[in-house]
Structure 1
Amino acid sequence: MSSNEQNQVMEMDGEERYDYFLSQVAEDREIWILVNNDSRFLKIASDDGDVEYLPVWPTAAFASEYASGGEELTPRSISLPDFFRKWVPGLTKDGLDVGVFPGLDKTVWITEPAELKQDLQDVMSEF
């Protein structure tokens, strides 16, 4: 993907980025997260602390761009079967939501893990 195409995607609003995320992940069958040097995944809490979520991206490039300029974070891929089988139940048990494709403007589409799984399965059934 060219940097121009990447910029166009980043300029989308949260809902458009969510739709882009669904189609890209359904095609590639992997989700990207950020991890630190201790292999701990990035978790973000809302300003008021009411919501904690795991931010996810459709590609390593978008995750890297989000991480640039901050602490040492590295993109790591999770296969879709692993995400469905391990991460969705684990996130649900821990009370963590999923922040789908945070933008550089810090807007993000927050959803429950099971809802994201269902949306991804719906998109994949169209292939």
Structure 2
Amino acid sequence: MSEPLHPKEMEAVLGLSGQERYGYFIERVVEREEVWGLQNEEGWVLISFPEGDAFCLWPHADYARACTRGDWSDCAPEGISLDELIGELVPALQRDNLRLAIFPTPAGEAMVVDSRDLQEHLESAFAQLRSHDQ
């Protein structure tokens, strides 16, 4: 389980634009090697958009927990390892033609991306991290 976030950090990050939150998401996932979804008895939370449904992911359990209200009040954050995300979840989402809703806010804003794009962005960020470590 991740350490709790400071409320000021949460407030600042939730105030970022969708593109900025996406960048934060990539950095955080590369750093922590985990993502978070919301689950209830029926399964994982999806958001419906005109172009189809999207699987929701957050960079930290606290951000996911902040969205557990309304229709999602019976949901709880569930961690997903980076290996599970890339090895199992992304291929399953591709088979089911689902996109990803990255870092939804309590206000309902999210950056919707194709799972292949997310995988490429994560791989690129990992490559940059490795080149800096050398």
What is the identity, as a one-letter code, of the residue corresponding to 1:63?
Answer: A
- Segments ≥4 residues shifted beyond 4 Å: none
Partner in structure 1 of residue 101 of structure 2: 99
* Structure 1 runs not aligned, ≥5 long: none
Instruction: State whether residues 30 and 122 of structure 2, in contact with CA within 8 Å, keep that contact through their aligned partners in structure 1.
Output: yes
Q: Deviations over 1:33-79 (max 9, x none)?
A: 000034x1011112x4x321001000000000011354300100110
1:45 maps to 48
Partner of residue 30, structure 1: 34
Normalising by structure 1, report the TM-score.
0.92
Establish whether residue 14 from structure 1 lines up as the match of residue 14 from structure 2. Answer: no
The aligned residue for residue 84 of structure 1 is 86
Number of aligned residue pairs: give it: 124
- How many angstroms apart in 1 are the aligned matches of 2:74 and 2:44? 12
Q: Report how far residue 104 of structure 1 moved.
A: 2.3
Task: Give 3-state SS (helix, strand or coil) of 2:91's partner.
Answer: helix
8 A Cα contact 1:33 1:63, kept in partner = yes
**Residue of structure 1 in register with 2:127 after alignment:** 125
Secondary structure in 2 aligned to 1:32?
A: strand
Structure 2: runs of 5+ lacking an equivalent: 130-134
Amino acid corresponding to residue 99 of structure 2 in structure 1: D
Contact map agreement 1:14 1:103 (CA 8 A) in 2: no
SS in 2 for 1:66: coil
